[in-house]
Structures are given as structure tokens and as C-alpha cells.
Structure 1
Amino acid sequence: MSQPYIVFGYGSLIFKPPPHTISQVNGFLKGYVRRFAQSSNDHRGTPENLGRVVTLISAEDWAEFSAADPFPHDDIVWGVAYTIDPAYASENGYSVHHTDVYGFENGVEKVVAPQAVVYVGRKDNHAFVGSEDLDVLAARIYTSVGPSGKNKDYLYDLADAVKKLAPESYDSHIAALVHRVRALENAEVNTTSQ
């Protein structure tokens, strides 16, 4: 019998599960950060106006950017561990990096998905942009649109999905961006209604 193939979704996979999922469990990773630090020219932006999507990076690697990051000590990432039918594991195309996924059972932290496959961003990836000022980042997310839709909708969908994972689930970076993008929307509405 094949070993279960478990993929941890930390971005759009939270609200758009991968194909051939046979079970799922909500949980979190330790020692990583989720940041809007990856440019998108094909889904939430265009080559002329790059959007931003989340990437996962080890907290140790992200420490290099912590001077510009208002949340340098957030090193828990909530998401969903999906068990994929082993017959279709090769179709998912994820890099192989394994880590335990944690959750709470009766208020006690425990491993809920051992050694899940996680795609971890690398600083040397050409699309990696690192840490950006939150106001600048929010403005980019607010204005970017790509073939998959508005960049701000991706942010809002991700924020809503993370909140629904568990009573304890939260992401400071995402919450700060939602606050800033909503402020930009409100400012535009106020300007156009005058």
C-alpha cells in the first residue's frame, strides 16, 4: 500500500482544494512565515503590473528581511493539510519539503498531519520580492488584476479562509493588508461620491 501523500495548503489551496483529495485537516506549521512576497504576472497581475501572492519561507531565511517586516516574530502559518490519493500524487507538482502540521485537540497542541509536503519559497526565485512597506504593498494589491481576477479578492478570500480554520487561527500580515486595502477602497468611494 502506498504512503499517504499530504500537501499543506497555505494560500489559495485553503479555499480551492487540490484535485484527488481524500481527506483534509486544518492546522499550522511552525518556523515559517506566509508573506505577500511573490510577484504574480499570470494570475493576480500582468507583466506590466505585477500582482502579489503569498509564498511560504522559513522564519530563519525571512529573518534577513525582519527589519522591514512589522511582524518579524510571527512564525506560525495556518492552513490545510490535504491527503491526496497516492495514485495522483505526481500530478500535483509540488517540491518535496516535509514538515509536521500541528493543530489543537481539546485545547492541546498535537501533530495532526505528520511530514506533509510543503512548497517553500526561495530567496533566489526570480519572482521573490522580499519584504515591502505595507502601504506600498497594499496599493499594489489594490490596483493589480490578472487572468485569475483582482489581487484584492485573492487577499480577501485568503483572509476569510484563514479566519475560518480554527478559533486560534490568525495571520497578522494578512490582517494588516486587509485593513490597508479596505482603507484604499473607502477612500476611493468617498472621493467618487463627492
Structure 2
Amino acid sequence: EQVGADIDLVRKGMGTDPRVGPQFLFAGIGYGGSCFPKDVSALLRSATDHGYDFQILKSVESVNKAQKVLIADKIRKHFGTRLRGRTITLWGLAFKPNTDDIREAPALTIIQELLNEGVTLQLHDPVAMPEMRKLFPSGKTVKYFEGNYDALKGSDALVIVTEWNEFRRPDFDRMKSLMAQPVIFDGRNIYDPVKLTERGFVYYGIGRNGQSTLG
């Protein structure tokens, strides 16, 4: 983003190397779940117990934590001093699609960061809402919606947190008509920045120079 590069083009270039491949090079807002975070922590503890300073895994853990805060930082930068009192929608709460598992999910960090800023949250996930309610009960500043479009009503911004298939091809005109402001923070780069900008959205992705250009 800082040098104006497009992460999708970088991924395609790196993926042509058969020693790397394209399968696991997608930009995003951090990993979660029951395995990766636990395994990294266990390996770091083992390294420490054996007197080894495992710098690579320390960096993995540090970068992952930073990625989870990245979207909140983009939201702060966009709204500036006008953030408090805003309504923001999150699509996706589970750490990955097709599960209700929210352990170490990026959504946990994003929700807490935004609540700390005085934001009202409208949340939707196809299956993970019951689990999230246990940690963030419904109330004045946290609201859950069974329909993804219902969660957009009056919203000042949409955050894509989990790349569920049903989020990939929404009715953008309907979305725009429901939102107070047509702003999208795409934490999984599932939308085309140019097409959204042409439709009148303000778009922020990951590794895409901050806003709306592909090149």
C-alpha cells in the first residue's frame, strides 16, 4: 500500500514460482481458529525452553496481531474525529467460512477496537452469531441481524471480515440504498476496487494502496 503496489499482482507473480505456488498467498486480516495460534505459541514456548530465540515465529505472531488491528486503523483514519457515534456493519464473525468457530477470530479484535471508539456495531454471520453473542451480548451498541442486508440499514461502513461465499456477489445497488454512507472496508479482498468505485462506493482493501486502484 505504501509504495502503490497491488497485492493481487504480487501474489500472481510469486505464485508462478513452482516452489511457492498461489494457493496460500491471499492477503487478509489475520488468521485464527484453534490450531495455528496455538501451534505457533507452543513452538515459541518450546524454543524458549531450549534457549532458542525463534525470530521468524515471533514475527509471524507479531504480524498476525497487527493484521487484526489493521481494519480498525483504516476505519479510524477514514472517519478521523467523526468516528464516535457511527454505525458500522461487520459481515462475517467466524475465523473462516463454513464454521461457527470464533476462537482467535479477527472479528473479536475488530469488535473490541471499534467498541472502544464508541461505535455501534451491526453484526451478521451465517452461523457464528450464537457463539459471538456469548462474548458480546446484544445491546445498545452491539446488534445482530439474521439477514446480511438488514445489517446494512443506516450503516456508515461495511467491513468484510470473513469471506463467506454469500458475500462475494451481493446486490451492490441494494447495499448502497440501505447504507448511510457507501463505504466498504474489504478485509478479504473479495471485491473489485475499480467496479465498486464506479458504482459510487469508497473502497479500502488490503495491500491495494489504501483505496480504489488496481493499477
Structure 2 length-normalised TM: 0.23
Bigger proportion of residues as strand? 1
Structure 1 length-normalised TM: 0.25
